[in-house]
Amino acid sequence: MKNSATDWVVAYIGLGSNLANPVEQIQAARTAITQITGVQELAFSSLYCSAPMGPQDQPDYVNAVIGIKTDLPPIDLLRCLQRIENDQGRVRKSERWGARTLDLDILIYGDQMIELPDLTVPHVGIAERAFVLYPLYEIAPQLQVPGKGAIADLLEQCPMSGLKRL
């Protein structure tokens, strides 16, 4: 069911790419996200570059975070993001944590904690991943991460580990 007309939620989506011109992938994804019916962009972070977390035999990643206002329920938003990943040539392989043209993750959806078969929000890795926390902090320094606390406190516990602003 759709949220009611007044029920706009602020959500944050993490963008990542390490194949096929990552900067262009991220920019194209930003455009596609802002074109989803029921989504309005509120903020977009700088682009950040980092070594891969997980298997090292893959290119460095470019990451960013977009803040949006949406009236889509989380699962509908997820389906739209998956369609954009597919449109941008994402090939889903059995290998865990392999290279990808585009990864779009719902990091935060209002103050909700969501546990569905396909979707965990806040995103599972949020507190440990510099490439998520730093761009998120850049656009939402006052954010409270549901179940985990103030983003500023999470950031203090998370070294930058080679993350660079592009």
Extract the tokens encoding 78. 């997820």
Q: Does 50 bind ligand ROI (CB under 6 A)?
A: yes
| # of chain residues touching ligand ROI (CB under 6 A) | 10
Give, as ranges, the residues between 96 and 155 that touch ligand ROI (CB under 6 A): 97, 103, 131
Please indicate whether residue 90 is annotated as part of the active site: yes
Please indicate whether residue 92 is annotated as part of the active site: no
DSSP conformational letter for 17:
E
For residue 78, which of 105, 114, 49, 111 has the smallest C-alpha distance?
Answer: 105
Active site residue: 87, 96, 100, 129, which one? 100
What b/e readout covers 79-107, taking b as 16+ CB neighbours within 10 angstroms?
Answer: ebbeebbeebebeeeeeeebbbbbbbbbb
Sign of CA dihedral 9, 40, 108, 155: negative
User: Among 4-12, 50-58, 74-82, 140-148, which window interacts with ligand ROI (CB under 6 A)?
Assistant: 50-58
Please indicate whether residue 57 is annotated as part of the active site: no
Enzyme catalytic residues? 90, 100, 103, 105
Residues in contact with ligand ROI by CB under 6 A are 16, 50, 52-54, 61, 63, 97, 103, 131
